[in-house]
């Protein structure tokens, strides 16, 4: 079985391809805007991450930084969150 880092690298490549296919801008630092991060995480609301942060429920895995009035999320941390979610929900 591939290591955690290998699974994250594969997921990151898929997320980058999805961004390219869907016209989502990825910063030079590998970050996407909050609405795109929500889409990548399969949330139906574009504000889901903002609400989670306000309620103190934002995953500690997700790395974000403020850029003016907006939050940018690291694609690699989104990939890590997805891989971890798969592992949490995996049936042995």
| Per-residue pLDDT, 41 | 96
Q: How far apart are alpha carbons 88 and 65 in whole angstroms?
A: 26
Mean pLDDT in order along the chain per 10 residues (92 residues): 94 97 96 97 95 95 95 98 90 58
> How much is the pLDDT for 88?
86
Q: Please give the pLDDT value at position 1.
A: 81
Which pLDDT score, from 0 to 100, does residue 40 have? 97
Question: With a threshold of 0.75, does the pTM exceed it?
Answer: yes
Going from N- to C-terminal start, the domains of the chain cover: 4-84
Give the helix, strand, coil percentages of the chain, each rounded to 5. 50, 15, 35
| Distance (Å, whole) CA 73 – CA 60 | 12
Q: What is the pLDDT of residue 59?
A: 94
Measure the CA–CA gap between 64 and 33, rounded to whole angstroms.
10
């Amino acid at each position: 079985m591939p290591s955690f880092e290998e699974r994250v690298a594969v997921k990151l490549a898929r997320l980058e391809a999805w961004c390219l296919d869907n016209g989502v801008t990825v910063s030079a630092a590998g970050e996407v805007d909050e609405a795109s991060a929500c889409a990548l995480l399969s949330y139906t609301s574009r504000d889901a991450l903002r609400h989670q942060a306000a309620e103190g429920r934002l995953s500690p895995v997700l790395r974000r930084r403020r850029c003016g009035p907006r939050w940018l999320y690291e694609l690699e941390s989104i990939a890590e969150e997805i891989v971890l979610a798969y592992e949490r929900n995996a049936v042995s």
